[in-house]
Amino acid sequence: MTDGPQYPSYPGDPQQPGQTPPPQQGGYPQQPGPQQPGTYPQGYGQQPYQPAPPPQGYGYPAHPYAGWWSRVGAVILDSLVTLAVMLVPLVIGLIILFSTAETQTRLDGTEEITDAGNPLGVILIVLSFVVAFAFTIWNSIVRPGRTGQSLGKQWLGIKIVRENDGQPIGVGMSFLRYIMYSIFVNACFLDVLWPLWDARKRTWHDMVVSSVVVRA
C-alpha cells in the first residue's frame, strides 16, 4: 500500500522535522567599555600641558649699572655747561659796565666812580644768575625726570630710571632727588662715594627715590 497523498509545502508552514532554525542574533548591540579615569575622547586635538614661565626677577635692570667714574664725569660736564651758560652774559655785562663807567682821580691818587655806566651791563649781570638758575632746573630736574638724562649723562651714555620698572622717575621725584643730593653732599661727602661699594651702585639720594643709574 502506498502512503497518503503528498501535499506541497507553502511559505509559512511549520518547518519539517530535521531542519534546525538559523541561529538568532542574541541580545543588544555591544556597548563600548567604560574609559579609564582621567582620559578624554580622541579627536579633540587637546594640546599637551605646558608649565607657566618663571616670573621675572623684581627690579632687575635691563641695562648694566653705570660706573662711578661715568656718574662723576656727568656731574663735571653738567657743571661746566652751567658755568658756560652763566659766564656768557656775565662777562658781557661786566665789559659793558666797566667800559662805560666814568671815574675821577682824587688828590690822594684814588679813583672815584662818578658814573655807574650803561645800565645794560647791570641787567646782563643779573640775567646771568637767572639764566644759570633756570638752566640748572631744566638740566638737573626737568630733563632727567622726563628722559632720565641731563646733558652730561646723555653725552656719557647713562640715565636715571626707576628701580622697579626702568622708566624715567618723573619731574616730581627728580626734584626730590636733586634736593636730597644737595643736602647729602653738603652734609656728608660720603653720599657721592657710596656707589663704590653698593651692589646696585646707588647713592643715598638714589635710595630715597628708589632710582638707579644705568647705561643707556
| SS3 (DSSP) at 65 | strand
Question: 116-173 pLDDT, tens per residue?
Answer: 678 898 999 999 999 999 999 999 999 999 999 999 999 999 999 999 999 999 999 9
pTM for the full model? 0.67
Q: How far is CA 198 from CA 34, 45, 145, 187, 205, in A?
A: 66, 54, 23, 20, 13
Bigger pLDDT: 82 vs 10: 82
Average pLDDT over the chain, rounded to an integer: 80
**Interhelix angle 119-137/68-100, nearest 10 degrees:** 170
Report residue 127 as a C-alpha cell. Answer: 640775567
- Burial class (CB within 10 angstroms; exposed 0-12, middle 13-18, buried 19+) of 114: exposed
In single-letter form, the type of residue at position 85 comes to: V
The Cα 175–Cα 152 span in angstroms is 17
Question: 101-125 pLDDT, tens per residue?
Answer: 767 676 676 766 666 678 898 999 9
Which range, of 13-22, 74-83, 88-97, 106-115, averages the lowest pLDDT?
A: 13-22
Question: 23-71 pLDDT, tens per residue?
Answer: 555 444 455 555 555 444 554 455 555 555 544 444 555 689 999 999 9
